[in-house]
Amino acid sequence: MKIALVSPYDFPYPGGVTEHVKALAWGLQRRGHEVQIFAASSSHPGNGQSNVRVMTRRIAKVPIGGTIARVGFSLLNYHGVKTILQQERFDVIHLQEPLIPGLTWWFLMLAAPHIATVGTFHAYHEQPHWLYWQGRSLFGKLFAKLDSLIAVSPSARDFAGQLFPGEYHVIPNGVDLNRFGRPWDLAPKSVASDVTILFVGRPEPRKGFITLFEAFCALQPRYPHLKLRVVGPFDDKQSQMYHHLALTRGVTGLEFMGYVAPECLPRFYHQADIFCAPSTGCESFGIVLLEAMAAELPVVASDITGYRALVQPEQEGLLLPPDQADIWAVALRSLIEQPEQRRRMGQWGRMKATQYNWDYVVDQTLAVYNDTV
């Protein structure tokens, strides 16, 4: 099949939808399908993505659900998309977040009736965005042009289905077990005082980093060799602020790594002992949780809708109330002092991660394509 994967987001900027598109494209190509990715891009896509076609470099920063979405938008896309669809003979157009205004709209509106259109819904928010409520009539007409529906989790399905009922296939995000798997010769640490806690995420309030930071500050004086390693696009001003706050309390061991290239990311999981995801809400899934599980790390995560489907308490890790640093400190202390429990949770996590191997995800997605065509 000839397949177009369309993303509304700034492709070089790190994010779950972009990682999903890259992995899906790779898996489809391995199975002999011709795949082109259409996206916005504020810079060169990089990472050897020769099949990425940049449709616009105009990026709008849109606040959605406690985050700033970097959405590509240009009225000129109408002509570009129309030309592409006239020149190419796609069997399937697969749109990620198809109702976000921008590039996905043009593909959906201009797709000929004989082309199968598939939409994947990734988002979950506690309340539907006001834009969806205000534009229900327009969004409903666009939604009706989708031939098949996919949601990455039950929570994403339920969220989308509130306003746009339909028959959604739940196909989760995937994880590359080989890429994130812990090297066989890398043994977990056994010394309680020499533990590294890992956070991977953006510097947004909804990612809850402040909760983890406060918990770490409460623990570090007791465990002088304890480290908190932060991977994500924190800028110098943000990292300096946290370093200053830590130093005023006599706390060391805080390490900001900044943005890390995808090929380097697994190394940070392999060097860590505990993974933390203190998000406050608006999470439909949690790809970073899967990556940590694939690396055999115990996961300490917020007890929120998107994370409950992945983490079973006392097996793959712990689920804790968000925004309560004192409770996080107590829970982390128990894991710091119990290396055997960390090891056992890591093994449970690895087993759970095998259920989300990208091979399964690609096969399920192809089944939807075939049924739709």
Contacts of 30 (CB under 8 A, 6+ apart): none
Q: Are residues 349 and 368 in the same domain?
A: no
User: What region does 110 belong to: left with phi over 0, alpha with psi -120 to 50, or beta?
Assistant: alpha
State residue 55's pLDDT score. Answer: 84
- From CA 174, how far away is CA 359, in angstroms rounded? 8
Domain shared by 336 and 205, yes or no:
yes
29 shares its domain with 69: yes
| Residues 329 and 365 occupy one common structural domain | no
Same domain, 154 and 127: yes
How confident is the model at residue 187, as a pLDDT? 60
CA atoms within 13 A on the CB side of 303: 10
CA dist., res. 302 & res. 314, Å (int): 14
Range of the domain at 364: 2-174+357-372
Average the pLDDT over each of 74-83, 127-136, 238-247 and give the range with the smallest value.
127-136
Residue 230 has pLDDT above 90, yes or no: yes
Q: Are 67 and 208 in contact (CB under 8 A)?
A: no
Burial, 170: exposed, middle or buried (Cβ in 10 Å; 0-12, 13-18, 19+)? middle
Same structural domain, 328 and 361: no
Predicted confidence (pLDDT) at residue 236 exceeds the cutoff of 90: yes
The whole-number average pLDDT for the span 160-166 is 91
Contact status, residue 91 vs residue 368, Cβ threshold 8 Å: no
Question: In the prediction, which pLDDT does 67 show?
Answer: 72
Kindly report the pTM of this predicted structure: 0.89
pLDDT at 185: 61
Q: Please tell me whether residues 142 and 237 are part of one structural domain.
A: no
Strand order, beta sheet including 227-231: 254-258, 227-231, 196-200, 274-277, 299-302, 317-320
Q: How many domains does the chain have?
A: 2
Higher pLDDT, 68 or 356: 356
Report which secondary-structure segment, H or E, holds 360. Answer: helix 358-372
Domain identity same for 58 and 156 = yes
Residue 43 has a pLDDT of 76
Q: Are residues 166 and 259 in the same domain?
A: no
Q: Out of 85-94, 137-146, 194-203, which region has the weakest mean confidence (pLDDT)?
A: 137-146
pLDDT at 218 over 80: yes
264: tokens are 């380097």
Over residues 259-285, the mean pLDDT reads 93
What is the average pLDDT value for the chain, to the nearest integer? 90
Task: Give the lowest-confidence range in 67-76, 119-128, 329-338.
Answer: 67-76
- 269-295 average pLDDT score: 94
Confidence band, pLDDT 50/70/90 cuts, at residue 75: confident
Both 66 and 139 in a single domain? yes
- Provide the CATH number for the domain around residue 161: 3.40.50.2000
Regarding whether 362 and 265 lie in a shared domain, the answer is no
From residue 220, alpha-carbon distances to 197, 216, 319 in Å are 11, 6, 22
User: Are residues 348 and 257 part of one domain?
Assistant: yes
Q: Strands, E, within 11-105: which ranges?
A: 34-40, 52-56, 59-64, 67-72, 92-96
Q: CB burial class (10 A; 0-12, 13-18, 19+) of residue 38? A: buried
Question: Per-residue pLDDT for 245 more than 80?
Answer: yes
pLDDT (tens digit per residue) in 4-37: 999 999 898 878 899 999 999 999 999 999 999 9
